[in-house]
Structure 1
Amino acid sequence: MKYLLFLILFPVAVVAQKTKGRFVGDVVAQWLDNGRSMKLNKEFGYIDPNGKKWDVPKNTIVDGASIPQIFWTIIGGPFEGTYRNASVVHDYYCVVKTEDWKDVHLMFYNACLTGGTNLIKAKIMYAAVYAGGPRWRIDMSKSHGGNSVKMMAQRAIVSEDKLTEINKWIEKNNPSLEDINNKLDKIVVVEDKVLKL
């Protein structure tokens, strides 16, 4: 009977682990003199539920800025709690902008869950970075007979009252990420700014 129970429960544990992804290595870092940033002393990474690797190289400097500071009083600072590792990977990809911003924020959500953040808090944190975190896009257009490539930083603007309202809605309804995106897309104002490549 013990063996049968093990065989029944074991696949469930494997499936549960597979759906969350996993971290690769440990965050080994030193705090910098500015009191906010830290420098990674070794590589770190995350493998998302789809198997995509999100590597963060040694010597990367992160400061938690990818999580809007307005949320720190609600969810805590970026380097504390069960989402600390997720914050490190998220920070890096928000700086290098090699992946679509929506994919980076989704990775953050999944990495929060992997780190042990409960589902509702992970959704609130996802909403925080979706609504107020970094956004970018590449604008490829034709101008003056040639191709032009511009990296556009997008600044999302949403009021603190609206964010509080969204948090309460998430806590009460446990909506899907798609529902969160749809609700936020209706209230967030986005401004474009051209970045130098």
Structure 2
Amino acid sequence: MKYFILILLFPVFLYGQANKNIFVGNVMVQWLDDGRSMKLQKQFGYIDQNGKLWNVPKNTVVDGASIPKAFWTIVGGPYEGKYRNASVVHDHYCVIKTETWQDVHKMFYNACITGGTPVIKAKLMYSAVLAGGPRWEISILKDRTGQKIIVDKEANITADEMKAVKEWIETTNPSIEEINARMEGIVIETYK
């Protein structure tokens, strides 16, 4: 009887596993007149390893700004390479700020891997968004309104520090936790 139940549940398990770490749909965009922004023509999304859907609605405008421009020469621009789809989802969540910046940046790393970005390159991209990408703090007012307030922050390191991080990642292949610890020690965070 136990084996019969396991056989029945196995396809459900496989279905759940198969629908994680995948992109949902294709990025279909219209380039806008500013030369950098693009508007999604269809809904797009990413399902992470926990089964969470990171949805980007149709008509969302993205511009690649979540990958710091100062680091494009070190890690690459937002619309090139196999991390392009990840940058679309990351851009959107850096604008709407419904999740913590830490979760959004970690999703970006995982989405890069899902899109076929080599692990070392994905770690470089992740370190770049930690170094200069958007940050915010979400607070809920304790009064009767329960209003959510978002406070924007800036993260900054120098290009020389980022080059040293790049070399460190390329030569040692550190874990994400090690990258977080190193970046925490060198990033200067200020309120906007």
With the shorter chain as reference, the TM-score category is: 0.7 to 0.9
Higher strand share: 1
Q: TM-score, normalised by structure 2?
A: 0.86
> Is the contact between residue 19 and residue 47 of structure 2 (CA under 8 Å) also seen in structure 1?
no
Query: CA–CA distance in 2 between the matches of 1:134 and 1:37?
Result: 17
Q: TM-score, normalised by structure 1?
A: 0.84
Residue 180 of structure 2 aligns to which amino acid in structure 1?
N
Q: Is there any run of 5+ residues in structure 1 with no aligned partner, and where? A: 1-13
1:93-172 mapped onto 2 (5 Å cutoff): 93-140=93-140, 150-172=149-171
CA drift at 1:142? 6.3
Residue 65 of structure 2 aligns to which amino acid in structure 1?
A
Q: What SS does the aligned partner of 1:190 have?
A: strand
Query: CA–CA distance in 2 between the matches of 1:18 and 1:133?
Result: 31
Q: What SS does the aligned partner of 1:66 have?
A: coil
Equivalent residue pairs, number: 177
Q: Is there any run of 5+ residues in structure 2 with no aligned partner, and where? A: 1-13
Task: Please name the residue that 1:11 is paired with.
Answer: none
Query: CA–CA distance in 1 between the matches of 2:41 and 2:174?
Result: 38
Query: CA–CA distance in 1 between the matches of 2:19 and 2:159?
Result: 32
CA drift at 1:126? 0.3
Query: CA–CA distance in 1 between the matches of 2:55 and 2:36?
Result: 22
Q: What SS does the aligned partner of 2:125 have?
A: helix
Q: What SS does the aligned partner of 1:30 have?
A: strand
The ranges of structure 1 where at least 4 consecutive aligned residues each deviate by more than 4 angstroms after the TM superposition are 17-20, 140-143, 146-149
Query: CA–CA distance in 1 between the matches of 2:20 and 2:170?
Result: 21
> Is the contact between residue 82 and residue 112 of structure 2 (CA under 8 Å) also seen in structure 1?
yes
CA drift at 1:19? 10
Task: Please name the residue that 1:181 is paired with.
Answer: 180
